[in-house]
Amino acid sequence: MATQTDESPHTQADTFAPTLVRWQRLHGRHDLPWQHGDAYGVWVSEIMLQQTQVQTVIGYYARFMARFPTLAALAAAEEGSVMESWSGLGYYARARNLHRAAREIIQRFEGRFPAAIDDIASLPGVGRSTAAAIATFCFGAHEPILDGNVKRVFARVFGIEGFPGTRAVEQQMWAQARELMPASDGVAYTQALMDLGATVCTRGRPRCSDCPLRERCVARRDGRQREFPAPRPAKVRPQRLRFALLIECAGRVLLERRPGQGIWGGLLSLPELAAQNLTDAETEASRWLANHGLPDHVVEVMAPVIHGFTHFELHLVPLHITVVGSAAPLLAGEAPLHWQPLDDATEAALPAPVRKLLAQHDADRRTPRPLP
Dihedral angle sign, alpha carbons of residues 321, 268, 63, 356: negative
The set of residues, in sequence order, having a beta carbon less than 8 Å from that of 29 and lying 6+ positions away, is 35, 191, 195, 198, 199
Closest CA to 67 of 37, 92, 99: 99
SS3 38: coil
**Alpha-carbon distances, residue 45 vs 58, 75, 125, 146 (angstroms):** 9, 16, 13, 16
Q: How long is the chain?
A: 372
322 forms bridges with which residues in the sheet? Answer: 248
Give, to the nearest 10 degrees, the angle between helix 167-180 and helix 148-158: 80
Q: b/e for 218-230, b at 16 or more Cβ within 10 A?
A: bbbeeeeeeebbe
Q: How far apart are the C-alpha atoms of 345 and 339, rounded to whole Å?
A: 9
**Phi and psi for 77 in degrees, rounded to 5?**
-75, 155
C-beta neighbour count of 171 within 10 angstroms = 10
Taking the mean position of all CA atoms in its chain, how far away is CA 84?
Answer: 14
Q: Which amino acid is at 94?
A: R
Closest CA to 320 of 304, 300, 295: 300
Q: How far apart are the C-alpha atoms of 111 and 113, rounded to whole Å?
A: 7
- Name the active-site residue from 7, 46, 248, 282: 46
Is 78 part of the annotated catalytic residue set? no
257 forms bridges with which residues in the sheet? Answer: 268
Q: How far apart are the C-alpha atoms of 125 and 305, rounded to whole Å?
A: 29
Q: How far apart are the C-alpha atoms of 39 and 112, rounded to whole Å?
A: 9
SS3 240: strand
DSSP letter assigned to residue 159: T
Q: What positions carry a catalytic annotation? A: 46
